[in-house]
Structure 1
Amino acid sequence: MAHYRSLGAVPAKRHTQFRPEGDALAFEELMGEEGFSSDSSLLYHRHIPSAMTGSEVWELPDTRTVPNHPMKPRHLKLHELFHGDARQDTDVVEGRRLVLGNGDVRISYVVAGKASKLYRNGVGDECVYVESGAARVETVFGVLTARAGDYVIIPRATTHRWVPQGEEPLRAYCVEANSHIAPPRRYLSRYGQLLEHAPYCERDLHGPAELIQEDGTDVEVLVKHRGSGGEIVGTRFVQAHHPFDVVGWDGCLYPYTFNIADFEPITGRIHQPPPVHQVFEGDNFVICNFVPRKVDYHPLAIPVPYYHSNVDSDEVMFYCGGDYEARKGSGIGQGSISLHPGGHAHGPQPGAYERSIGAEFFDELAVMVDTFRPLELGEGGQACDDGVYAWSWAGGRRA
């Protein structure tokens, strides 16, 4: 996100001697994207950030996937994946259950009640949507406060941990990319400012507000990274000093939150296509959100979506609030995912088309991920598939 920020103490000139604590020289770390030819930030550490004393295999949760074959639309009931006291023993990092994935993006779900270990994703950026609950997200850039409705964008290789807050478990919908995640390019000026037609602006993006300082030696950090065959693997680093030793940083690369309530919906006289709901993009996928809004006001408008074929993409809709008009009668509700694969024409459930005529407002909340390569089912997706959604347009009748 090309929006400059600075936090803590930094020198007047980059790449020069900096002694913020008397005679002690700070160690400068440049975090930069695309071979240091894109956005970057400079962080100033009290200790050498490269120093490590151990490295061993971290066995990741089950990351295997199976093809959606024979192809069919699916309804995945995410709230069935976590029950009762098991939530209190789960954290946002190691407790994730893979729902859907391909070579570009992986979608997981978790209900967490305890703090995670220190973690960084060396594969790509993460976009974590907080369905409910709250968390303190502690990072090398400082502290983020995450609440229900927040997207938490964490750049690749950012060391951080999740600390749930309050009595309510933290429900998180995790989108892990093999690339960077950013606002759509059509929303940005050639210099990176969000334009007037964008549905949000820089005022809606909330970066770290305070640095966090921790001491300690031989500190464990979980790292997700690419294996020799292109697969995703894990390593458990032991760093010589605690990574939360940053005294200051500045630049245009950092984690931030954006709340879905700050998205200003784009509406029209007739039904608007899905790109008007887009909020972020990555390589070979986009993220959209559907928020409460006034709907189409042409006198002959049909407010629910027209039937459509995703010729180039799979569509994943996570229903996280409100009352989704187009899916009434399908069994879909809060915590559901619908998967509509490319090659399948889909749209409103029977009766919804007609019932929507005359509607002036939709009270619905959903996060959509469209991928441009087919998605496969992970362990979590297989475990919570309702098995009958594909036949819902035909009244449940199977041939």
Structure 2
Amino acid sequence: MPYFMHLGETPRTRHIRFRRPDGTLYREELMGEDGFASDSSLLYHREAPTEVVSAEAAEGAARPQMVANFPLKPRHLRPHELAGKGDLVRDRHVLLGNDDVVMAYAVADTPSPLYRNAIGDELVYIEMGSGRLESVFGTLEVGKGDYVIVPTATTHRWVPADGDTLQAVVFEAAGHVRPPKRYLSQAGQFLENAPYCEMDLRRPEGPLLAEGTDVEVLVRNRDGVTRYVHATHPFDVVGWFGCLYPYAFNIADFSPVTGSLHRPPPVHQTFEGPGFVICSFVPRLFDYHPEAVPVPPFHANVDSDEVLFYADGSFMSRRGTGIGQGSVSLHPAGFIHGPHPGSIEAALGAERTEETAVMLDTYRPLRLGPVAADCEDPDYLSSWRARR
């Protein structure tokens, strides 16, 4: 994150003595990416964050087995049909995934436990509801349409607002999620041609200054989830500064790029991660050439699997297929896809679209999670057949 931030009480510069009112030293913690050769932040704790009372394997926390998308088919998943609520950490329904990214869906009506993902960053898209992300960096209020980026190994928890439910799509990366490099200057500032800028980002407020003893924290690594018990509360941070922290960006603040003729998906790119990109489709003017065909052509992204989460609005190119709000479509590499029968002609002359969707493109094939079969539309493959 190229946006430097300073919050709470800190010393005037890094790595110098910083004392509590009673004269004892605050405990400095350095969080840094890429072997401390990239973004980092310095946090100042009341107590040492390393005091762990116990560590044990968390039961039922193994990553679910996924199966290949074979025979190769497009898929339409309806995660709204999945039963059960819970919290935004332990009750995720894994829909799709590979070694680079896992896509899950969750409906949370209770606060999550304290958690940190030591594998990679998490990008959480809030489909509906409101609440807050609490972390060692402070509090971040979240709501419908927010992308929330949680850096690797950030201790945090998700708390739905009173009487509300958070419905969210979770992308668990195997590395760091960042704005595309082409949007940034050499110094890290968003360029004028970027579809969003620093002013569109919301940062934590706080600090939380939580207290407590024998505090449980779930930590995920590649071998599973470990339950730590910390002697003191990880949120006992009095202040911090740096360029590494959670932040939120609302999809409604994405400024779409339009043209006289169809523009390809890279103009909608919002974030990038190792082996994948995230794009935002938002309400926008259609192509304005007098002979333009507003919907995308039939296409085959030969290097990528393409996933769309249909968040809100009217999805013209998929009309009549059963796809609606909350649907997830998977169009794998090797499958030619595009507008459904009748949608090309219906789009001619249209001036704008009112759809909101989040797209995941991966460079390695996606596998199907164990709940995919429970919410799949079995007739999706035949939805491209013309009705004669």
With the length of structure 2 as denominator, give the TM-score of the two structures. Answer: 0.98
2:2 corresponds in structure 1 to: 2
Q: Equivalent residues in 2 for 1:127-138 (5 A)?
A: 127-138=123-134
Range moving further from structure 2, 209-218 or 345-354: 209-218
Contact 1:75 1:339 in 2 (8 A): yes
* 8 Å contact from structure 1 (residues 75, 336) kept in 2: yes
Q: Could you tell me which residue of structure 1 aligns to residue 21 of structure 2?
A: 21
Aligned-residue CA RMSD in angstroms?
A: 1.2
- Residue 357 (structure 2) aligns with: 366
Deviates more, 1:58-67 or 1:96-105: 58-67
SS of the equivalent of 1:203 reads helix
8 Å CA contact 1:133, 1:166 repeated in 2: no
Equivalent position to 1:300, from 291, 297, 300: 291
Q: Give per-residue Cα distances to partners, 1:222-260, cap 9 Å, x unaligned.
A: 011022xxxxx1100111110010000000000000001
Give the counterpart letter for 2:96 in structure 1.
L
2:263 is paired with a residue of what secondary structure? coil
In terms of mean alpha carbon deviation, does 32-41 or 16-25 score higher?
A: 16-25
Quote the offset at 1:216 in angstroms: 1.1
* Structure 1 stretches of at least 4 aligned residues deviating more than 2 Å after TM superposition: none
Structure 2 partner of 1:279: 270
Matches within 5 A, 1:187-206: 187-206=183-202
Give 5+ residue unaligned stretches, structure 2.
none
What secondary structure, in the 3-state scheme, does the structure 1 residue paired with 2:216 have? Answer: strand
Q: Residue 184 of structure 1: which of 180, 185, 192 is its match?
A: 180
Conserved 8 A contact 1:62-1:379: no
Q: Does 1:99 align with 2:91?
A: no
How many angstroms apart in 2 are the aligned matches of 1:42 and 1:29?
6
One-letter amino acid matched to 2:45:
H
Give the superposition deviation at 1:168.
3.2
Identity of aligned residues (%): 56
Are residues 68 and 309 of structure 1, via their aligned partners in 2, closer, same or farther at CA, if it must alter by over 3 Å? Answer: same
Alignment of 1:83-122 (within 5 A): 86-87=84-85, 90-122=86-118
Quote the residue 1:230 is aligned against: none
Q: Partner amino acid for 1:107?
A: M
Q: Distance in 2 between matches of 1:55 and 1:131?
A: 34
**Aligned counterparts of 1:156 and 1:185: Cα–Cα separation in 2:** 19
Q: CA offset at residue 382 of structure 1?
A: 2.2
Give the aligned residue type for 1:260: I
Letter matched to residue 71 of structure 1: L
SS at match of 1:379: coil
1:87-107: CA deviations, max 9, x gaps?
Answer: 2xx000001010000000000
Q: Mapping of 1:315-326 within 5 angstroms? A: 315-326=306-317
Report the Cα distance in structure 1 between the residues aligned to 2:205 and 2:211, rounded to whole angstroms.
20
Decide whether the 8 Å contact of 1:9 with 1:20 is kept in 2: no
For the residue of structure 1 that corresponds to 2:371, the secondary structure is: helix
- Contact kept? 1:61, 1:94, Cα under 8 Å: no
* SS of residue paired to 1:209: coil
CA contact (8 A) 2:62 2:225 kept: no
1:291 corresponds to which residue? 282
Consecutive unaligned residues in structure 1, runs of 5 or more = 228-232
Deviation at 1:61, TM superposition (A): 5.8
1:334 alignment partner in structure 2: 325
Aligned to 2:31: 31
In the other structure, the counterpart of 2:155 is: 159
Kept in 1, the 8 Å contact 2:100–2:173? The answer is: yes
Count the aligned residue pairs: 387
